[in-house]
Amino acid sequence: GAVVSQHPSWVICKSGTSVKIECRSLDFQATTMFWYRQFPKQSLMLMATSNEGSKATYEQGVEKDKFLINHASLTLSTLTVTSAHPEDSSFYICSAPGTANTEAFFGQGTRLTVV
Amino acid sequence: AQTVTQSQPEMSVQEAETVTLSCTYDTSENNYYLFWYKQPPSRQMILVIRQEAYKQQNATENRFSVNFQKAAKSFSLKISDSQLGDTAMYFCAFMNRNTDKLIFGTGTRLQVFP
């Protein structure tokens, strides 16, 4: 199956700094990627849809200025958590639809801890 | 808006036995897929099984099968001959084919014990 690589797998940052998370489709092109957030022992909540060559679309309640998404190429989407605070600590996961759009392929996830 | 409901926060089963995880969903769409994903402690999301809404036949993947009741908007997962490696969180998910967005249920934590 298709491979989605997410980096870093974990990061610790100081409050007030920004953190960038990368999501790459390794063996296929993805015009769309999705970013999810998962709190401990909870489900995946869709944050936004990343669109190659255009602006991301955000789900209701997600701050666009806090979570900056850039889809610079057909294989790379980035999520930047700006001015991070402890409440932004969470597990972030990206996914991309396969070429047949019949399933989603997930990155390994990034555990963000803001101290 | 679509919603996915998993009413069993936790389930347990003895090794080699069969267990069924429940899932219901709500949608006005006709063109959609349903999935079961497994999330082990590594937190990597692993596709277990997929069902196309237009297919009446229930999907099967080795020890995993679904009972898809479209009219009732029900999509349960049956795991036969449970193995210790099946211990994980299981998420039911709905994909709108028009947007490719995945909407997840709250998950069921399955524990397989010897």
A-chain CB neighbours of B25 within 8 Å are none
Per-chain mean pLDDT for chain B: 95
DSSP B31: S
Which chain A residue has the Cα nearest residue B105?
A43
Closest-CA residue to B25 (of B49, B44, B53): B53
Neighboring chain B residues of A95 at a CB cutoff of 8 Å: 45, 102
**Tokens at A35, concatenated:** 């970013």
Q: What is the DSSP string of B92-113?
A: EEEEETTT--EEE---EEEEEE
Testing the interface with A: which of B35, B100, B104 to mutate, by most A Cβ within 10 A?
Answer: B100
Residue B14 and residue B113: Cα distance in Å, rounded? 5
A72 confidence band (pLDDT: 50, 70, 90)? confident
The pLDDT-based confidence of A45 (bands split at 50, 70, 90) is: very high
B69-95 average pLDDT score: 97
Q: d(Cα A40, Cα A53) in Å, to the nearest integer?
A: 33
Query: What confidence tier does B111 reach under pLDDT thresholds 50, 70, 90?
Result: very high
Contact map slice: A 47-66 vs B, CB within 8 A: 49
Q: What is the pLDDT of residue B6?
A: 97
Q: What is the largest CA-CA distance in chain A?
A: 41
Determine the residue among A6, A38, A43 to mutate to test chain B binding: the one whose Cβ has the most chain B Cβ atoms within 10 Å: A43
pLDDT of B4 above 90: yes
pLDDT of residue A99: 66
The one-letter amino acid code at A44 reads L
Candidate from A32, A43, A93 with C-beta closest to B100: A32
Partner-chain residue, chosen from B35, B52, B91, that has the shortest CB–CB distance to A43: B91
Cβ–Cβ < 8 Å for B110, B19: yes
The pLDDT score that the predictor gives to residue A22 is 98
Phi, psi (rounded to 5 degrees) for A88: -85, -10
| Closest CA relative to residue A25, chosen from A95, A111, A91, A108 | A95
Which of B50, B101, B106 minimises the CB distance to A103?
B50
Q: Is the pLDDT of residue A98 over 90?
A: no
- Name residue A68's beta-bridge partners: A80
Does residue A1 surpass a pLDDT of 70?
no
State the average pLDDT for chain A.
93
Report the candidate in A11, A115, A27, A18 with the shortest Cα–Cα distance to residue A70: A18
Q: Does the pLDDT at position A100 exceed 80?
A: no
Beta-bridge partner residues of B36: B49, B92
How far apart CA A33 and CA A24 sit, in angstroms, is 9
Residue of A nearest to B91 (CA): A43
Nearest C-alpha of chain A: how many angstroms from B44? Answer: 5
The alpha carbon of residue A17 is apart from the nearest alpha carbon of chain B, in Å, by: 26
Cβ atoms of A67 and A79 closer than 8 Å: yes
Phi/psi at A28 (5° precision) = -160, 165
Given this model, what pLDDT does residue A40 score? 87
pLDDT average, residue stretch A57-77: 95
Instruction: Give the percent of chain A with pLDDT over 70.
Output: 97
Residue in A closest to B88 by C-alpha? A41
Amino acid B38: pLDDT: 97
pLDDT in tens, B39-57: 999 999 999 999 999 998 9
